Amino acid sequence: MTQGELKRLHVIHKALDKLITQAEAAGIIGICLRQAQRIVKAVKAQGDKGVIHKSRGQASNRALPDKIKDKALKLYQEKYHDFGPTLGAEKLLEIDKIKINDETLRLWLLQAGISYKKRKARPHRQWRERKHSFGEMIQMDGSHHDWFEGRGPECVLMGYIDDATGRPFGRFYSYEGTLPAMGGLKRYIEKFGIPVSVYLDKHPTHKSTKKQDIEDELNNLEPLSQFERASEELGIRVIHADSPQAKGRIERLFKTFQNRLIKEMRLKGIKTIEEANKLLMYYLPAYAKRFAVQPANNTDLHRPVTKSVDLNAVFCVKTIRVLRNDFTVAHNSKLYQIENNLNAKKVMVEERANSSIHISYKSMDLKFKEITTRPKKQQKEPQSPKIPDNAQRTAAWRRFRLPGSIKFEAREEALAGVL
């Protein structure tokens, strides 16, 4: 018997011994009079075990049949062996149409002796309050992982999460660099608007490693990376985190995706970056619908993109190049011929996310074409080397000496002796 049943039995015996009335016993136990009368009658007929509930040890009326239990456990071992109970119950309902609670599945796994992945305890970190409004700050990072579990190429998930709501956004790229970082943020802005600030790490893509030159020191300016320059043009404040734990929200999102999203792609047989990005189009809204939270302030702080702003011209790699005298510009081992007639020494070369090249001068787009073959310089015909004329060493002008010089007198004496 449980402690509650022993307490109930003690009070019932007091009522049977006429020490208290059955109404008083019902009040002490916390049940109605009729239920107390039934328990007294059961104890008289069955003894002390009459106080135990009749459904003890029997299957619940709400229990699922063993047939469903066996089928669910079999599917779990065959298809969802590395899923947790929560995700496993979701996929049993979504794919196999077996509706069970995650706690029910967990108990079945324990009873069958089937091990499952358990969440590790998180170390304690200093708590930071969420931002109050949607769009006030987004956390951004890239996750290198075997997303296709060997079925496809290596790739990086560029992820974004709103700090106030936990609403995620992301896109797969083949590498983590300037153009993927810009391309992901550009797509985020096209969907939600321009955020107030971006919180990210000090990856060389996000924070410039260049030192200040003399001009920067005189103007009190810090060298900016291409990503920082693009963010500044849109009025986005870039905040750099000093540790991975500081931007824990995006780190936890990646950990969740490395558990849930990777298994979702496995079940659907996804093995290319294009297929993975198509999956994210409906996976992320469904994830946000379930796990996003309501912000403290319902105001959306995202700013709309005005018609005067060309996001393609903002999110690109801009480089200043010298305009040569023949109106050609060299960039990335390629040569471009400027067709405009302008008086300029330097021009701006833009390398955009779609790999296209744009050249401009003072915000004016220039017409140009790529020169595939450079004109060769005319080479001179090789000439035979000159042969030195040794006979000239005995020429009269070489033997000439001024009167009065030492060599002149010596020559005169030599000639006199001969004569």
pLDDT of residue 220: 64
pLDDT of residue 63: 78
pLDDT of residue 137: 94
Token pair 């007929």 is at which residue?
A: 45
| Residue segments in the chain with a per-residue pLDDT below the cut of 70 | 119-127, 212-221, 374-380, 387-419
pLDDT of residue 19: 85
- For 348, phi then psi, to 5°, come to -105, 125
For residues 196 and 202, what is the distance between their CA atoms, to the nearest angstrom?
Answer: 19
* H/E element, 151: none
pLDDT, tens digit (0-9, with 9 covering 90-100), for 5-36: 788 888 888 888 888 888 988 888 888 999 88
Contact yes or no for 206/180 (Cβ under 8 A):
no
For residues 146 and 302, what is the distance between their CA atoms, to the nearest angstrom?
Answer: 33
Q: Is 245 exposed, middle or buried (0-12, 13-18, 19+ CB in 10 A)?
A: exposed
First-to-last alpha carbon distance for the chain, in angstroms, is 157
For residues 356 and 331, what is the distance between their CA atoms, to the nearest angstrom?
Answer: 13
pLDDT, tens digit (0-9, with 9 covering 90-100), for 222-267: 778 899 999 999 999 999 988 878 888 999 999 999 999 999 999 9
pLDDT of residue 231: 92
Token pair 């030195």 is at which residue?
A: 388
For residues 39 and 403, what is the distance between their CA atoms, to the nearest angstrom?
Answer: 157
